Each structure stands twice: as structure tokens, then as C-alpha cells.
Chain A
């Protein structure tokens, strides 16, 4: 680690010395995600794509690498850094009810998910394993099953617990017929995340395993509530997502919003953690020229990383939902160009 030394000397030869250390970073990893957990290999080929986001539900019997996803193993062994989002959220049938299975000789019966999340009015509320269920140890079998599969992967990944706690809790949650406010849900989630971290960290994990929790990062109070120092001391990364959904959104403004809140509100442990942008994207409805917007991202990330506060180390473009590249070829070409630009190289 380089060190700069300052010496102040007066005429009589009295001196005072001060030092400051600094480190030089690796390039930011440019990354990707393809709709539906589809095989991104062809889209990534030939480009400087070094990072990938994937989503799995703990309910799924095939968490690592996922059902019929041998390509994930190939990409991981080729050095692509995986951000595996493991959710308590249930993605729907099958396995909607109780599950019985055996892992490494231990038999488990896991009850069906007892919580609803994302309770947006006028929509069907998705189910999730409840924070109470987690704390009662009823989901241990799900964690054990995921871990057993993870150990066969052959490389370490970042395990991001939850996709977006703020999105999950925005309209409150309900578990066992009891309603919880947004803030109450955040507090319960922090306890449950702690439980899951304790469960995993008490066991042998593949080398290079890291952990984070997931947030969209669109609500300052929620971001603060879900990042207490005690939890952050057990996590390796901060994480948020960045989308442009308004014609006036700039890359700098979208990537910096949550960072500014973090710098203002979080403690030194949290701020010592680098940042994974698990999802970023440009919505073509408001910003038809996606390539032009994508082209501004490298400079924005470089500028943010030159400022005080946590550094952004991975940015995974979400070619799905809000970020769907349309037309895809032009968007992909822009991504390739961006990821060939400093700070990605």
C-alpha cells in the first residue's frame, strides 16, 4: 500500500511528520444479467463482461447452479464473478406447500411460505418464507440444501440475501395473519438476515464466499434501517440498483443517489465495504437512445469512485424488465464499448 509522507520543518529544525496511506484499485467489473435466468454466454462472448447476477428462490430445489444451467458453471470457472441472489421470496408453483427432502443424510420438512411481500394495492401479493419462520429455524433445510449444491460448484460466489428488501417491504408485509409496517418489516428482515448469515458462516464455505443483502436503494430511511453496523460487520459488500426511468435521469445522478445517502447515514464499517450494483438499466420508453445513456456510465462510475465513500466495484446491466435493451444489438454494442472504457479496464 503506497504511503505519502508530509514533513513540516521550521527554521530551527523542529519537524512534524504526517502520513496517509492509499491503495490502487482493480478495474470495475462490467457485468450482465439476462431475462429469466437465460444463458447469457452468447451475449457476453468477446466483451469485457466479468460479472453476472442470478436470482434463485430458496424454495427451488435447484439453487446452484440452477435447473439446467451448466453454462453458469462454465462462466464461473472462466472467472466471471457471480452475484447469486438467494431470495426467501417464493416464485410460485411448484413447491408452494411444505417440502420434505434429505440433505447430506439429514431429513427436513420445511413448511410452506407464511409471509406475503410486495403488497402493492391491486396486485397479487407474492409469498415468501417468513422472517419468523427463518428465526424459528424452520427454513434451515432450505439453507442446507442450497449450501450442499453450492459446495459442488467449484468456485466462490457472492451470496446476496434478498433481491430488494425495500421493494419487498414498501407496502408492509404479513406473516401468520399479522401485518407489519415497512419499518417493522425492515427490522424483522435484519434479524432474519443475521440468522441466515450465522447459519452459513458456521459451516464450511467455498473459498471466496462473500455476502451482501439486497436493496433497490430507492428509500433513504429503509436503506439506513437495513444497514446497521452490527449487520454490516458480517457483510462484504454494499449493494443497490440503478435505473434510468425518466428522460432527465443521468448516469451520475442514478448511480450516486444511494451512495450519497449511505455516506451521510451509515457508519464506518458499512462505508468500508465496496458496492455491487446488482442491476442497472435504462428504460427505453423514456430514454429511447439507450446506447447514448450507456456511454455515459463509465465516466459517472469513475467520478463516483474518485470521491469519498464506498467504491463501486461491479455493475451488472439488467437486460430485462426496465433495462430491456431495445434494439438489443445496439444496446449490447454500447455495453461492450462502455466496458472497454476506464474504469472498466
Chain B
């Protein structure tokens, strides 16, 4: 399995107390792929059900964000490759 990659970028380098801080994490892993499984059930007489589809992600990534000042970062969005977190300065 391949190793993942991650890049972290803050919306500013200096914040005034009380400011909203935004952290954008861009991440990926070459193994991480969405997969769609289509299932059709067929009986002995050859009757088939309508196909049903389920999706799965192979080797999903887990993202954790920590802050050594103790601030809590809350996830605002995550599309599987870019995640945005928010905290208050």
C-alpha cells in the first residue's frame, strides 16, 4: 500500500484574538479509490433481480487535526481530497 500525502495551509499567519481561522488540508493516497459494486441476484430459473449498487472506498484515509495551543478545530467540509477546518483565535 502507498503512503498518503497531506498539505496543511492556514488562511493567515497572524490572527487577532477572536478571529476565525481556517485550515485547508489537501490530502490523497494513490490506493484510496472509490469503488462501485453492482449486485444482481439470479435464481435457479434464471430470474434476475433489478441491479442494486453500493459504493465503497478502498483504503479510506483518516484525518486528525491537533493544535498545541489546545484550540479545537471543527470540520467545516471534506470532499475526500480537500478538508476545511475552523477554529477561533
Contacts and interface: CB of A to CB of B under 8 A. Distances in A.
B8 A302 contact: no
Contacts of B4: 8-10, 14-16
Contacts of B8: 4-6, 18-20
Nearest to A27: B16
Contacts of A12: 1, 59
A322 B58 CA distance: 65
Interface stretch (A82-90, A189-197, A280-288, A305-313): A305-313
A245 B71 CA distance: 42
A50 B23 CA distance: 33
A16 B6 contact: yes
A177 interface: no
B16 A305 contact: yes
Interface in B8-53: 8-21, 23, 25, 27, 29, 31-32
A248 interface: no
A2 B89 CA distance: 10
A68 interface: no
B59 A6 contact: no
Contacts of B76: none
B64 A6 contact: yes
A25 interface: yes
B16 A9 contact: no
Contacts of B69: 2-3
A186 to B, nearest CB: 29
Contact of A306 (B1, B2, B19): B19
A4 B16 contact: no
A151 interface: no
A20 B9 contact: yes
A17 B11 CA distance: 19
Nearest to B83: A6
B61 A10 contact: yes
A130 to B, nearest CB: 39
Given A16-B27, A22-B21, A6 B6 contact: yes
Contacts of B12: 22, 305-308
A65 interface: no
B54 interface: no
Nearest to B62: A9
Interface of A: 2-12, 14-25, 27-28, 302, 305-308, 311, 342-343
Interface of B: 1-21, 23, 25, 27, 29, 31-32, 59-69, 71, 73, 87, 89
> What 5 pairs between A and B have smallest CB-CB spacing?
A2-B69, A18-B8, A8-B6, A16-B6, A14-B3
